[in-house]
Amino acid sequence: MKQTDSFLSNGFVIFDEIYTMDEVENVLRQINLANSDKDTFRKSEDLFAIRQFLKEVPSAIDAVFNDNLKAILSQILGDKYFVVKSIYFDKPQTSNWYVSYHQDLTISVDKKVSLNGFDLWTTKQNQFAVQPPLNILQNVVTVRIHLDDTDENNGALRVIPKSHLKGVYRPETIDWTFEKEVSCNVSKGGIMLMKPLLLHSSGRTTNNRQRRVIHIEFSNQELPTELNWAERINLC
């Protein structure tokens, strides 16, 4: 089965060696130079994160979007895809932070308006988030760029294959007699592609190794005329 077919069937796929070690170090260098005093930067003992990452660290864009990544995105999304969200996560070596099973059910938009099928509005860092109709979520592709070797001992994602095909799937209803869990181990310089509706979780760090990941969501679908993607970056 081709990797793209596996992605559509299982809801995730891993590609190794998308970035050279020099490219990874270049991305990290741009992150380290960024001004971390803004509200979009979250700093704690368990996690350092940058929301709206590509807007806050635009110098990283050229390094992130190398030819390898663009070729994979074009194969899956065609030639008119764009960024709709980006976050940087740094889980330190001693992090006790974990995330239980969930789906990514919201998108970031520029304003709050009353639209049929757009529900559960929230606001964070002066940015609106909303749960859109299912067809919009089904069209989003998430890329997780791994800047460190990552396995089940330092927070690799655990996923339930094919769960993205079941619509909104509440974690409390998971039937573990039927479902299986997979740990998505990714080497430094590799990427993981996933569908936001895929049930996924992340465990605590137990091996004293850092885990840094850039999470970028893409779409090729326009929103209703009343709304805009808040973090949209056109790449094509």
The predicted pLDDT at position 231 comes to: 96
pLDDT beneath 70: ranges in the chain: 1, 45-47
Domain that residue 73 falls in: 3-234
Neighbours of 110 (CB within 10 A): 15
- The residue among 192, 221, 216 whose CA lies nearest residue 85 is 216
CB–CB of 62/200 below 8 Å?
no
* Assessment of whether the complete model's pTM goes beyond 0.85: yes
How far is Cα 88 from Cα 147, in angstroms, rounded to an integer? 10
Q: How many domains does the chain have?
A: 1
The predicted pLDDT at position 46 comes to: 63
Burial zone of 55 (CB within 10 Å; 0-12 exposed, 13-18 middle, 19+ buried): middle
CB–CB of 21/193 below 8 Å?
no
Domain harbouring 93, CATH code? 2.60.120.620
Residue 178 token pair: 């039927």
CB–CB of 133/118 below 8 Å?
yes
